[in-house]
Amino acid sequence: MKRLIAAAGAGLAVLGLSVGSGAAASGRDQCKPVVGNLEETQVEGDGFQARGRLTGGIQGTDHFTLLSLSDTHPNTPSVSHFVGKSLIETKTGDIATIVSGAFDLETGKFSDLFTIVGGTGEWSDATGQIHLFGTFDFESGTGRSDYRGEVCTK
């Protein structure tokens, strides 16, 4: 259970997107760098879940759900790998991501990679990846992370 919560915290530090990009007139992808932070809180639900507020280049609300968790290597027993999903609600549509990451239960530090797999509204054809890194405190149920990446739309 500790590992589930620990890995989930890493995935929590997920990211949401609300970059104000639009479709390029030529139909080509228009890509924009995004940089900002995420403040999150563990919430009740099946397994591990968290909700958070994204600020900076991406603005919206992130809804993270842990899907799987596994130990890494015997020499790093406090580190777990995880996979989750994240739905980021923005004013112009939602962004769906798959989250892969690693979390250290002893230090609370984590690193996530959000891969954009779909969306609605302005984000219906979005692609890209965002790297999240930060800490999560399971005693308080809160975390903070920074992110940077690239979001592309048509």
At 1-30, the pLDDT tens digits run 344 444 444 444 433 333 343 443 456 689
Please tell me the predicted confidence (pLDDT) of residue 131.
98
CATH no., domain 2-71+86-153: 2.40.350
**What sign has the CA pseudo-torsion 129, 75, 7, 137?**
negative
Domain positions in the chain are 2-71+86-153
Residue in the structure block whose two tokens are 């790998």: 81
DSSP-based three-state secondary structure for 131: strand
DSSP state of 16: -
DSSP state of 59: -
Q: Are 43 and 51 in contact (CB under 8 A)?
A: yes
pTM, to two decimals: 0.80
For 54-104, what is each residue's pLDDT tens digit? 999 999 999 999 999 998 889 999 999 999 999 999 999 999 999 999 999
Please tell me the predicted confidence (pLDDT) of residue 87.
97
Categorize the per-residue pLDDT at 46 as very low, low, confident or very high, splitting at 50, 70 and 90. confident
Using CA atoms, how far residue 79 sits from 62, 105, 114, 144, in Å, is 24, 6, 19, 18
